[in-house]
Chains A and B, each alone.
Chain A
Amino acid sequence: MNPRKDNIIDLASAQRSDRKRVVQALFERHAEALRLFLRGRSVAPDEIEDLLQELFTRLMGAHRLEEKMADSTGSSRSYLLTMANGLMVDRWRKEQVRNAHADAVRNDDQGHADELSPERIVAAQLELEAIKAVILDMPLNWRVALLLQRMRNMSYEDIALHMGVQVKQVDNYLVRALRRLRKARRKIEAAGERSC
């Protein structure tokens, strides 16, 4: 059974430190999906490339990336979408802060630019509590599907496998869960505003 030594190519040692190849492979597989995702989120084309570049840089430096990818309960695509989304939201928030700050300077106003004031933190926590209440109040199937997607980064196919149902049913659960969240949104936001 033993192959002759001179025929052996040690693929594993070649791959060990080769983060760049891993990240490139991820991009080759998922770049198109990421572009579409960002486009669906109304990001301008030049900004999309910018974000992807940033994502690439982040992945190169990501802690224990291979482990996260190897976790067979999550799909690497969900992980990337989550990261891309996070980057986008970050930028968006920074811009808001900048605008608010500019406004504040212009109007000689105070307070608005201070994103992390205690009031804001309390508001965010209250919002989160309200979201939790809405989720825990959902039918079991809906909340399981939603939480597996959010907390475990699972693809819809993986959720279907885990729940033992068809993917179509997972779609159904998720859409319903999201609709419930959309309808509860005003209430959620109101929960946060009460503290202000």
Chain B
Amino acid sequence: MLKNLQEIMNGGAEHALHRLWSDQLSEPEAAAIQARATGDPKYRDDLDGLLAVFDSIEGLDGDPAVEEVIRDYQRLLHKRRSIVRVALGMAAGLLLAVSATLTVFSISRAPDDGHLQKHFTRVGEQRTIELDDGSVVTLNTAGQLVVDYSGPMRRILLERGEAYFEVAEDPARPFTVDLGLRSVTAVGTEFNVRKDPQHYQVAVIEGAVAIGEFADGAAQHRLEAGWVGEFDVQRNLLNAFQPESMDRYAGWRNGMVSFSREPLYQVVQELNRYTRKKILIEDTTVMDLSVYIIVNIHEIDAALDGLEGLLPIEITRHYDRTVITGSTGD
């Protein structure tokens, strides 16, 4: 920061202009620029002239040669260096597309970029990750996230799945989870984020979070502890509600998922997240049976046995799938 100030005081007008357009112009810097511009007519002339030139660059909007530079720079710059980083900054749709490609190529390979860490879990796996600042992230089944601590913000890109965040407090460095269309900024807190293709869900266990509508988080909704926010991607709708219990959103970290009076098809949907051998209901009459059960996600088979004991259903295990039908009643 001191370096910036010195460059403003002693360097050419380009330093002042560079700081003026940065996101982090400080009070002393603004004062120094003003002082220098007032005290030194030549500098003032330089700065004004440079700014005029800088402003007129926008007039090149639509110029083919200029657009080409912007369009093709990725091809022209070092190609290999950072697909991941490009992904972080891009529009949401593109983001999803890029990350989908990445899963194919980079699963189980260490990221080649120093300060971007990529983490993933397989189906049925849960993993706890300790971040450099002391924050802890638990990544649920079939999840994928990228940690970017290189900038002024602590930035997590949740590409897929569900993650529980225990954020170490640092007011100077906001902690933000990017979901593509929305971002969640923690205000010293514990929260759970789940990203399904059509739904993003944020549950606040402790503290509060801000859900941003814009890329950089302007115009935010604040969500307090005990609340769950659900964003419907297709309808672009954000709902908030207070569930009776936060167990669902926090309890999975112990490997336990509890269901209290939920229809069977929803329970099955949920269990299917944790197993490769998918469970299918092939009998519409049992779909809505009410289920009250606690499941160990590492023992889905045992859970199915339990369900069979509790409900009028029959379970048939095939080599590639498990099928639920109504019991024939004997």
* Residue A29 at the chain B interface, CB threshold 8 Å: yes
Nearest Cβ in chain A — how far from B179, in angstroms? Answer: 12
* Residue B58 at the chain A interface, CB threshold 8 Å: yes
B284 / chain A contacts, CB cutoff of 8 Å = none
B218 and A144 form a contact (CB under 8 A): no
Interface string of B177-190 (1 = CB under 8 A from A): 00000000000000
A167 and B216 form a contact (CB under 8 A): no
B73 and A140 form a contact (CB under 8 A): yes
Report the interface size for chain A: residues with CB under 8 A from the other chain: 78
* Residue A118 at the chain B interface, CB threshold 8 Å: no
Assess A157 versus B23: contact at CB under 8 Å? Given A131-B60, A146-B57, A150-B58.
yes
Residues of A1-48 whose CB lies within 8 A of B: 1, 3-4, 7-13, 15, 21-22, 25-26, 29, 33, 36-37, 39-42
B interface list, Cβ under 8 A from A:
12-23, 25-27, 29-31, 33-34, 37-38, 44, 46, 49-51, 53-61, 63, 65-66, 69-70, 73-74, 76-78, 81-82, 85-86, 88-92, 113, 150-153, 213-216, 218-221, 228-230, 236-243, 262, 266
B237 and A12 form a contact (CB under 8 A): yes
Assess A8 versus B60: contact at CB under 8 Å? Given A40-B29, A78-B21, A160-B151.
no
A188 and B53 form a contact (CB under 8 A): yes
Residue of B nearest to A4 (CB): B241
3 closest residue pairs by CB, A with B: A164-B82, A178-B14, A161-B89
B216 and A12 form a contact (CB under 8 A): no
* Bound Cα distance A111, B269 (Å): 77
Residue pairs across A and B with Cβ atoms less than 8 A apart, 15 shown, are A3-B243, A9-B240, A15-B221, A36-B25, A36-B29, A72-B89, A72-B90, A135-B57, A136-B69, A147-B69, A162-B89, A162-B90, A164-B77, A185-B50, A185-B53
Q: Which of B33, B56, B81, B221 contacts A164 (CB 8 A)?
A: B81
A175 and B56 form a contact (CB under 8 A): no
A85 / chain B contacts, CB cutoff of 8 Å = 51, 55
* Residue A174 at the chain B interface, CB threshold 8 Å: yes
* Bound Cα distance A151, B295 (Å): 54
